[in-house]
Amino acid sequence: MAAKSLAGQTALITGAGRGIGRAVALAYAKEGADLILCSRTQGELDEVAQECGQAGARVLALACDVGSSSAVRDLVAQGLKRFGRIDILVNNAGILGPSGPLADVREQDWEETLRVNLTGPFLVTREVLKAAMLVRRSGCVINVSSGRGRAARSGWGPYTASKFGLEGMSQVFAEECRESGIRVYTINPRATGTAMRAAAFPQEDPATLKTPAAVAQAFVDLARSTGRMLS
């Protein structure tokens, strides 16, 4: 039997209850990783945890608001208490936010989109780096970006701003962690059949899109790579 490429490692995946997060959790479970899974909905997490457990993974599944620093600290602390290490972080949690002209966006909707999509990855990455990866001087951070993180789209103002910010933040983390043996990546899954995609493009035929499972292999490849850091 072939060795599992992530055996002995622990991965924290945000937004793991559905879509790409769920698919990555299952792919990592099959490759032997222990898992710390979080999302906003405990029921969805419990279903994913059960599937990952059936694949042989040890799983800690906790509902968590990634935009809350206290919730993030508790999540990471519980993960380290359970597994003793965090080797891989996948910042996948995100929301689409409001659509329409940027001049018409309400301040609270702007702030909530950035809180989840940009502040969330900042808080989780900061906590994982300080509590785990910098201590061991190794690790892999994968931030889920979008084509909107490099090219703006009319009507997607808050989402676009959050993803541009994520790209820039990832580059800063990559530079600052370069000498510590920690790799930081951004990945653009492109058009993938998720609930968020369906909400953004309700007239689109989902049969024409990649499935989340098809995207998950790229996350496995990045997690086990020892190549240069990307952003």
Q: Which residues are catalytic?
A: 159
DSSP bridge partners of 38: 14, 62
Inter-residue contact 130 to 51 (CB < 8 Å): no
Integer Cα distance of 106 and 10 in angstroms: 39
**Cβ neighbour number for residue 177 with a 10 Å cutoff:** 20
Q: What is the dihedral of CA 75, 81, 82, 84, to 10 degrees?
A: 110
Residues 6+ apart with CB under 8 A from 159: 96, 97, 113, 117, 146, 148
